[in-house]
Amino acid sequence: MTKHVTLLAGHGAQVLDITGPAAVFSAANDARPDQPTYQVDVVSPYGGLIETISSVTLSSKAIGEIDPKRVDTMLVAGHQRPGMLALIRDKRAKEWTCSVSETARRWGSVCSGSFALAAWGLLNGKTATTHWANITELAERYPSTDVDPDALYVTDGHIWTSAGVTAGIDMSLAMVEEDLGTDIAAEIAQRLVLYLRRPGGQSQFSTPMKRQCDAATPYDDVIRWAKANLHTSLSITVLAEKAGQTTRTFQRHFKARLGQSPAAYIETLRIERAKALIQSDVKLKTVAADLGYTSASQLTSVFRRRVGLSPSVWKTMHGTGRAV
């Protein structure tokens, strides 16, 4: 059965938030020409032409033409601030999106599209993410939403939200992987490699983290020791003892200085190391053991949550393409 994908946008939308996911779902259809999986529609409150911030004009269907109950997957595109405010104020967009959220299998946002979902009350009590430049504003403006500052994309039940722009492509690829399996997703990644390949393959906070690592902190010795011992448990108790502090003091001061909790920081170190090992053709089972995970499946779960893709698909995009 064909799955109906709708991409909601208005004037001032970020064009790649629309065309990126559309390209992924269309490529999935190309990979299975005898069994097309997705029907993709760009929709807007009013229908007709949408003027994006890139001066690219896209055709859209009016949301009134789309039965919310027939939507399988819906994503709200990111917009420049005036466009996002206009979308948030549009009663048709709010009512239609809320109706979709009641029946759709998956729904969410790309980039700043999360502001519309939050403004309409759809992220209350939920975990979500957005473009790194808007993380603080989203958290402060909508305190009932648990904003994840580190993830490339976040899933919370039926809700999928991604970080900035090209992260929407990664998230859409993960959706296809969920629907059609790793082999199809890997084939799509190869087809769209020019769109999917990121410089260095980094998540949205890898560069800031590198700057944090380069800057001297009271925890440099602890971090160096942790990097050499990623195969061990590295609990908060162990790290605090290494720093000569109580767990409570260590937790508070570490996060204040490095912007992440100790647990999140260690997880980031492990995932960055995992990427390097996977690219070097090390088997996933060995990578998991070397990084302190109990199994390859546990590493895969964490990798998917932090990177947005399974190790196999990520390797196809950034490594040799062999199985992991």
Out of 37-51, 212-226, 243-257, the most confident range is 37-51
Residue % of the chain over a pLDDT of 90 = 62
**Mean pLDDT value of segment 120-133:** 93
- With cut-offs at 50, 70 and 90, classify the pLDDT of residue 193: low
Question: What integer pLDDT is reported at residue 309 of this predicted model?
Answer: 80
Question: What integer pLDDT is reported at residue 319 of this predicted model?
Answer: 58
Question: What integer pLDDT is reported at residue 212 of this predicted model?
Answer: 46
213-250, pLDDT tens digit by residue? 445 568 888 998 999 999 998 999 999 999 999 999 99
Q: Among the listed ranges 55-59, 197-201, 265-269, 308-312, which one has the minimum average pLDDT value?
A: 197-201
80-104, pLDDT tens digit by residue? 999 999 999 999 999 999 999 999 9
Residue 135 has pLDDT above 50, yes or no: yes
| pLDDT, mean over the chain | 87
Question: What integer pLDDT is reported at residue 202 of this predicted model?
Answer: 41
* Fold that domain 3-196 belongs to in CATH: Rossmann fold (3.40.50)
- With cut-offs at 50, 70 and 90, classify the pLDDT of residue 322: low
Domain limits of the chain?
A: 3-196, 202-318
- With cut-offs at 50, 70 and 90, classify the pLDDT of residue 257: confident
**Mean pLDDT value of segment 294-323:** 80
Instruction: Please state the φ and ψ torsions of residue 121, each to the nearest 5 degrees.
Output: 80, 10
CATH number for the domain running over 202-318: 1.10.10.60
Residue % of the chain over a pLDDT of 70 = 90
Global pTM?
0.70
Question: What integer pLDDT is reported at residue 1 of this predicted model?
Answer: 82
63 compared with 201, residue with greater pLDDT: 63
